[in-house]
């Protein structure tokens, strides 16, 4: 009984330390957002570069939507369990560009969730219309695969 005490102490410290560090949130995979859009992020490289494909469910002209490439970065600096990231989607079917920035979280149920804010830049024909060319919004993504 006396010998078991140090072992129990080590065990409880190890378990306690484990529960303090959150489960790792991994950007790689297929995600769906609150608008029904899907994106696939390919494995992030050792420098944090990321690439993938975006299928939006909505657009200014929704009759001609096509899958579009995305390129960005994930921060690899510590702590990387819930990393920040940013990427740009180069829409292949319009003159617009969208930039997303966000953070990959593990929620209280242990589910990964991407909380993002985006800026969508539309093309306008003249500088007088610049004021109406940028939209802002948020999207929440959850993992499909
Ligand atoms: C366009 O309409 O010219 C391009 C498509 C823009 C889709 C936007 S990007 C932000 C928001 N989140 C989505 O998943 N889709 C819309």
Q: How many Cβ atoms from other residues are within 10 Å of residue 114's Cβ?
A: 21
Query: 71-108: per-residue pLDDT in tens?
Result: 999 999 888 899 999 999 999 999 999 999 999 999 99
Among protein residues, the one with the nearest Cα to ligand 1's atom 6 is 59
Residue 19 lies in a domain: no
CATH number at residue 108: 2.40.128.30
Expressed as residue numbers, the domain containing 102 is 29-143
**Residue 72 · residue 37 · CB < 8 Å:** no
Residue 32: other Cβ atoms inside 10 A:
17
Buried b / exposed e along 45-84 (16+ C-beta atoms within 10 A): eeebebebebebeebeeeeebeebebebebeeeeeeeebe
pLDDT digits (tens, 9 = 90+) for 32-73: 999 999 999 999 999 999 999 999 999 998 889 999 999 999
Q: Is residue 98 within 6 Å of ligand 1 at its C-beta?
A: yes
The answer to whether position 2 is within a domain reads: no
Q: Is residue 14 part of a domain?
A: no
User: Under DSSP, is residue 9 helix (H, G, I), strand (E, B) or coil?
Assistant: helix
- Spacing, Cα 39 to ligand 1 middle (Å): 12
φ/ψ bin of 18: left (φ > 0), alpha (ψ from -120 to 50), beta (otherwise): alpha
Examine residue 41 and state whether it is found in any structural domain, yes or no. Answer: yes
Indicate whether 56 belongs to any domain: yes
Q: Give Cα 93 distance to the centre of its chain.
A: 23
What is the Cα–Cα distance from 106 to 83, expressed in whole angstroms?
10
Question: What separation in angstroms does the CA of 124 have from each of 43, 54, 95, 121?
Answer: 35, 23, 9, 9
Residue nearest to atom 4 of ligand 1 (CA): 59
Q: What is the pLDDT of residue 72?
A: 98
Please count the structural domains in the chain.
1
Residue 66 lies in a domain: yes
| 11 domain residue, yes or no | no
135 lies in some domain: yes
Is any ligand 1 atom within 6 A of the Cβ of residue 56? yes
Q: Is the pLDDT of residue 16 over 70?
A: no
pTM over 0.85: yes
User: In testing the pocket of ligand 1, which one of 68, 69, 88, 120 has its CB within 8 Å of the most ligand atoms?
Assistant: 120
Answer whether 96 contacts ligand 1 (Cβ < 6 A). yes
pLDDT at 4: 47
């Amino acid at each position: 009984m006396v010998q078991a005490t140090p072992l129990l102490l080590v065990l409880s410290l190890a378990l306690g330390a484990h529960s303090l560090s959150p489960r790792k949130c991994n950007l790689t995979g297929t995600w769906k957002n609150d608008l029904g859009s899907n994106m696939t992020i390919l494995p992030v490289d050792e420098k944090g570069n990321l690439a993938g494909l975006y299928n939006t469910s909505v657009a200014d002209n929704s009759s001609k939507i096509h899958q579009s490439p995305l390129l960005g970065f994930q921060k690899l600096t510590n702590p990387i369990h819930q990393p920040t990231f940013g990427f740009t989607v180069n829409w292949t079917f319009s003159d617009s560009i969208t930039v997303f920035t966000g953070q990959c979280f593990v929620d209280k149920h242990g589910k990964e969730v991407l909380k993002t804010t985006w800026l969508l830049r539309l093309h306008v024909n003249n500088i007088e219309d610049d004021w109406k060319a940028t939209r802002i919004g948020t999207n929440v993504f959850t993992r499909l695969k």
